[in-house]
């Protein structure tokens, strides 16, 4: 961008800086100091807002806040220097200040033109920051933290009051144009209207059957528009709370809406990804102007109503409302389904559900290649034992195969049906794949010929892994059954007990003597191979959250556990003590991988982001 100065670091530059530094290995003694130190990729989009003069578009995403010149969409600068996802962004009425909140309990104010950081505000007592909203009169700004809304004096940044009453996390907020009212939307399915002057609750709107993630006022402040994960967009009377219109009512999935500045038109979108212009009085459709690949999260008009931005997880699209034409796109990554680290730790592969795979150089942080493999959805990734080839398990009956130098492989590995998981032997040219019918297949990695097949599991196999020494292979399924196989004989040696729910992820310790399994009910079981079928250690879940991934530190003293709410938890594998926990994602963790030297931990999630973790 020509006029905007990068305030702290662009994302990939931050990753390069963190990778270049030598760090201490992550062990039971150092794990308490593990923090996010960098990010890979653009992440997924969350919300967008125009500056008051309409020249800038600010986008909050899982990779931070980025600013774009409206006339040059596609080349933006990263504002948020924290390695945490941005959850909210709002301009002051004169456009001189941008307030941004992030998952790292940070709220920062920036001058979007000079690059100066105006204020650093944290923490919020209500919880991790969510939405942000500036009073159009310039008196206050609001930041939500968990279920609480904190109001700050815009001039002094001193707290004014807290608004309480929601029973769930506040996901979106907005002020009316005259500054009299503040509306807040919550994961509890309600929308509340507050008197902006004294903070009293004026009204609660009830009618949505799922979290409400979008809320806006009409120009006169008499109506509100809300979008919910129940797939509907509704219009309400602000004074009485009566529901006036249902503009969209589709399949469950996020939906969003916004009033045009003159109040005559609404922009709406639902779970089908369509972007519609609708008459705000009658609900009649005026035009369909766009189509996203997934549900809509947010809509925003510029001040004169000539431009519209629509936001879904995978992109932000800009439209000229006068011509009904799309005029720009900003691409994001909606989710990462799986990651794999090359045996030498030099390449990180990240696979999207669509089957698109990106390779990153872990020394520089740069993307070195991107390509598509197989039929979506992508389920698992692995490198060959020599690191020369990437393999992908997808809905296709054949493994996707691609050499890292960009050339294709003539070898095919065909299982005859959808593949759910895969693993590569660390020494021998052996590939193992798991199938939806509970079968396991083995192939010779060189010739592609099938060398074995068994059908032992009572349910679809969800995870497979070889021990680092190559002696054992483990397989786990959706019923909770865990088998340990002798690689030498091809026969199962142990049926491990104690798992009372479906298995999501399994991992061997570096010495191959222990196996960890993360379950759908949040429990993690650790078995010692060859010393009985009962778990040696059970890690209990925090609040029943689902486990998305597990990984051992190279020294075996730490087990990393990724959870469904984006938390990374580190456990002492001897005592079972939770050593540390931190948030670097805003979605279910889908993959974890330690570098061979143990100094770095990589995580992926369905927020489309890769996070690099290191010790302080």
Interatomic CA distance for residues 457 and 506, integer angstroms: 15
pLDDT given for residue 233 in this prediction: 98
Lowest model confidence (mean pLDDT) among 118-122, 239-243, 275-279: 118-122
Q: Give the pLDDT confidence of 171-217 residue by residue, as tens digits.
A: 999 999 999 999 999 999 999 999 999 999 999 999 999 999 999 99
pLDDT given for residue 11 in this prediction: 29
- C-alpha separations of 92 from 198, 302, 520 in Å: 20, 14, 44
pLDDT given for residue 1 in this prediction: 35
pLDDT given for residue 22 in this prediction: 52
Spacing of C-alpha 134 from chain mean position: 26
pLDDT given for residue 21 in this prediction: 45
pLDDT given for residue 105 in this prediction: 59
Q: Average pLDDT for residues 64-68, to the nearest whole number?
A: 87
pLDDT given for residue 18 in this prediction: 40
Query: Residue 122: which pLDDT band, with cuts at 50, 70 and 90?
Result: low
Question: Is residue 244 left, alpha or beta, with left meaning phi > 0 and alpha meaning psi from -120 to 50?
Answer: alpha
Strand-pairing partners, residue 326, are 319
pLDDT given for residue 78 in this prediction: 59
pLDDT at 76 over 70: no
pLDDT given for residue 123 in this prediction: 55
Q: Please give the residue that has the higher pLDDT: either 514 or 408.
A: 514
pLDDT at 145 over 90: no
Lowest model confidence (mean pLDDT) among 98-112, 337-351, 453-467: 98-112
% of the chain with per-residue pLDDT over 70: 92
% of the chain with per-residue pLDDT over 90: 74
pLDDT given for residue 8 in this prediction: 26
Residues in the chain: 616
pLDDT given for residue 2 in this prediction: 33
Q: Please give the residue that has the higher pLDDT: either 269 or 41.
A: 269
Q: Average pLDDT for residues 103-124, to the nearest whole number?
A: 73
Domain architecture of the chain: domains with CATH: 42-331 (2.130.10.10), 338-555 (2.130.10.10)
Query: Residue 115: which pLDDT band, with cuts at 50, 70 and 90?
Result: low
Q: Answer whether 18's CB lies under 8 Å from 36's CB.
A: no
Q: Average pLDDT for residues 148-169, to the nearest whole number?
A: 94
pLDDT at 87 over 70: yes
Q: Give the pLDDT confidence of 442-466 residue by residue, as tens digits.
A: 999 999 999 999 999 999 999 999 9
Question: Is residue 565 left, alpha or beta, with left meaning phi > 0 and alpha meaning psi from -120 to 50?
Answer: alpha
Task: Determine the 3-state secondary structure of 216 from DSSP.
Answer: strand
Interatomic CA distance for residues 490 and 273, integer angstroms: 48
Task: Determine the 3-state secondary structure of 379 from DSSP.
Answer: coil
Q: Answer whether 389's CB lies under 8 Å from 349's CB.
A: no
pLDDT at 390 over 50: yes
Q: Average pLDDT for residues 27-37, to the nearest whole number?
A: 91
Q: Answer whether 42's CB lies under 8 Å from 63's CB.
A: yes
pLDDT given for residue 543 in this prediction: 73
- Spell out the residues 6+ positions from residue 274 whose beta carbon is closer than 8 angstroms to its own: 288, 290, 291, 292
Strand-pairing partners, residue 246, are 234
Lowest model confidence (mean pLDDT) among 62-76, 172-186, 287-301, 448-462: 62-76
* Top-ranked range on mean pLDDT: pick from 113-117, 336-340, 417-421: 336-340
pLDDT given for residue 557 in this prediction: 98
Buried b (16+ CB within 10 A) or exposed e, 335-351: bbbbbbbbeebbbbbbb
pLDDT given for residue 421 in this prediction: 96
Q: Please give the residue that has the higher pLDDT: either 405 or 82.
A: 405
Strand-pairing partners, residue 588, are none
Spacing of C-alpha 98 from chain mean position: 23
- C-alpha separations of 568 from 39, 86, 350, 542 in Å: 15, 18, 18, 12
Q: Average pLDDT for residues 85-114, to the nearest whole number?
A: 86
- Spell out the residues 6+ positions from residue 240 whose beta carbon is closer than 8 angstroms to its own: none
CA atoms within 13 A on the CB side of 129: 28
Q: Please say whether the dihedral angle defined by the alpha carbons of residues 119, 122, 126 and 130, taken in this order, is positive or negative.
A: positive
CA atoms within 13 A on the CB side of 220: 8
**pTM of the predicted structure, to 2 decimals:** 0.85
Q: Average pLDDT for residues 307-336, to the nearest whole number?
A: 95
pLDDT given for residue 104 in this prediction: 64
Q: Which two tokens stand for residue 476?
A: 């786990």
CA dihedral 349, 354, 355, 356 (to 10 degrees): -50
Q: Answer whether 218's CB lies under 8 Å from 249's CB.
A: no
Interatomic CA distance for residues 571 and 589, integer angstroms: 16
pLDDT given for residue 417 in this prediction: 87
CA atoms within 13 A on the CB side of 280: 23
Q: Average pLDDT for residues 260-284, to the nearest whole number?
A: 97
Q: Please give the residue that has the higher pLDDT: either 193 or 615.
A: 193
Q: Please give the residue that has the higher pLDDT: either 383 or 414.
A: 383
Number of Cβ atoms within 10 Å of the Cβ of 489: 8
pLDDT at 81 over 80: no
Q: What is the overall mean pLDDT for the chain?
A: 90
The beta strands (E) that lie in 168-211 are given as 170-175, 181-186, 191-195, 201-205
Strand-pairing partners, residue 134, are 141
Query: Residue 146: which pLDDT band, with cuts at 50, 70 and 90?
Result: confident
Interatomic CA distance for residues 603 and 609, integer angstroms: 8
């Amino acid at each position: 961008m020509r006029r905007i100065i990068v305030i702290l670091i662009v994302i990939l530059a931050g990753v390069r800086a963190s990778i270049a530094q030598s760090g201490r290995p992550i062990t039971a003694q150092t794990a308490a100091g593990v923090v996010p130190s960098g990010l890979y990729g653009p992440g997924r989009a969350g919300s967008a807002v125009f500056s008051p003069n309409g020249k800038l578009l600010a986008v909050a995403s899982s990779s931070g806040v980025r600013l774009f010149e409206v006339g040059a969409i596609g080349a933006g600068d990263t504002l948020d220097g924290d390695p945490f996802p941005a959850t909210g962004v709002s301009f002051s009425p004169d456009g001189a200040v941008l307030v941004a909140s992030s998952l790292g309990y940070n709220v920062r104010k920036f001058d979007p033109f000079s690059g100066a950081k105006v204020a650093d505000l944290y923490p919020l007592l209500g919880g991790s920051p969510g939405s942000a909203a500036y009073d159009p009169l310039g008196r206050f700004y609001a930041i939500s933290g968990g279920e609480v809304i904190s109001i700050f004096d815009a001039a002094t940044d001193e707290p004014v009051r807290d608004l309480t009453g929601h029973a769930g996390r506040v996901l979106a907020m907005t002020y009316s144009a005259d500054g009299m009212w503040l509306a807040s939307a919550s994961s509890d399915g309600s929308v509340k209207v507050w008197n902006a002057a004294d903070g009293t609750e004026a009204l609660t709107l009830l009618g949505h059957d799922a979290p409400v993630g979008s809320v806006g006022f009409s120009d006169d402040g008499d109506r509100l528009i809300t979008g919910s994960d129940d797939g509907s967009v509704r219009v309400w009377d602000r004074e009485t709370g009566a529901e006036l219109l249902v503009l969209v009512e589709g399949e469950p999935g996020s939906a969003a809406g916004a009033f045009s500045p003159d109040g005559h038109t609404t922009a709406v979108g639902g779970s089908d990804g369509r972007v519609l212009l609708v008459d705000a009085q009658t609900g009649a459709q005026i035009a369909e102007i766009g189509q996203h690949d997934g549900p809509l999260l947010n809509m925003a008009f510029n001040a004169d109503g000539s431009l519209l931005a629509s936001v879904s997880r995978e992109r932000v699209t800009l439209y000229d409302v006068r011509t009904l034409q799309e005029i720009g796109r900003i691409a994001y990554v909606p989710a990462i389904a799986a990651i794999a680290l090359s045996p030498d730790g030099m390449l990180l592969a990240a696979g999207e559900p669509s089957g698109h795979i990106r390779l990153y150089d872990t020394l520089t942080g740069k993307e070195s290649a991107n390509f598509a493999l197989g039929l979506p959805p992508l389920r698992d990734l692995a490198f060959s034992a020599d690191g020369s080839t990437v393999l992908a398990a997808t809905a296709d009956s054949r493994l996707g195969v691609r050499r890292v130098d960009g050339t294709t492989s003539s070898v095919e590995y065909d299982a005859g049906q959808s593949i759910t998981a895969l693993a590569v032997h660390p020494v021998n040219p052996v590939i193992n794949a798991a199938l939806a019918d509970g079968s396991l297949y083995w192939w010779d990695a060189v010739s592609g010929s099938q060398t074995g097949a068994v059908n032992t599991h009572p349910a679809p196999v969800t995870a497979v892994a070889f021990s680092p020494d190559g002696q054992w292979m483990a397989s786990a399924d959706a019923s909770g059954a865990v088998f340990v196989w002798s690689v030498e004989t091809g026969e199962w040696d142990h049926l491990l007990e104690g798992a009372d729910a479906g298995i999501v992820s399994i991992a061997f310790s570096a010495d191959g003597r222990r196996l960890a399994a993360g379950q759908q009910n949040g429990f993690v079981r650790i078995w010692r191979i060859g010393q009985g079928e009962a778990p040696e250690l059970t890690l209990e879940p925090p609040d029943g959250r689902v486990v998305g991934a597990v990984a051992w530190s190279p020294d075996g003293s730490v087990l990393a556990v990724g959870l469904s709410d984006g938390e990374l938890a580190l456990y002492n594998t001897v005592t079972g003590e939770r050593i540390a926990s931190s948030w670097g994602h805003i979605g279910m963790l889908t993959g974890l991988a330690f570098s061979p030297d143990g100094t770095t931990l990589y995580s992926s999630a369905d927020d489309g982001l890769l996070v690099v973790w290191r010790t302080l």
